[in-house]
Homo-oligomer: A and B are copies of this chain.
Amino acid sequence: MPTIESEVKQEKFQSEFQKAAVNILFTGSWLYNLNATFLKTFDVTPEQFNVLRILRGSHPKPMMLADITCRMIDKNSNATRLVEKLRVKGLVKREICKNNRRQVDISITEKGLILLTKIDRSSDSWQSTLKNLTKAEVQQLNFLLDKLRG
């Protein structure tokens, strides 16, 4: 098992807490890169994929931009430009809301839904990287991460 010490070639951390901070950042980056590489074959970035999943969750009800933003993993990504890229690919639809013309209604298209289905079908491969943990361990991990954020 590759400890975080060996991963970043540091023999000793100041504390178990500091080690955990590095470990979370490192593991997050590692997982992100795995995911990004996997999704590249489908020509979407992790955040684009994330937005598509969010929209599928609401489908067929459209969502406004602010609602998408607050559900995103990385809130700093610029939702306007992200959605625009998905629109160009034909994966989402944008319509100005009739009742409130400031607002934009965004929904996933049929093409977007089909893409998600395809991704889901072949995502076993990368999800299997998580299979190093038992279900009980994964539950424990989720508990600890939630508790960590306070």
Stretch in A82-90, A92-100, A104-112, A132-140 with 4+ CB within 8 Å of B? A132-140
Residues of B within 8 A of A76 (CB): 33
Contacts A16-B138, A142-B4, A144-B144: A149 and B30 contacting too (C-beta < 8 A)?
A: yes
Are B28 and A24 closer than 8 Å at their CB atoms? yes
| Integer count of this chain's copies in the complex | 2
Are B142 and A141 closer than 8 Å at their CB atoms? no
Residues 109-150 (chain A) with a chain B CB within 8 angstroms: 127, 129-133, 135, 137-142, 144-150
CA distance A4 to B130 in the complex (A): 17
6 closest Cβ contacts across the A-B interface?
A: A28-B28, A132-B150, A17-B130, A141-B144, A27-B145, A23-B145
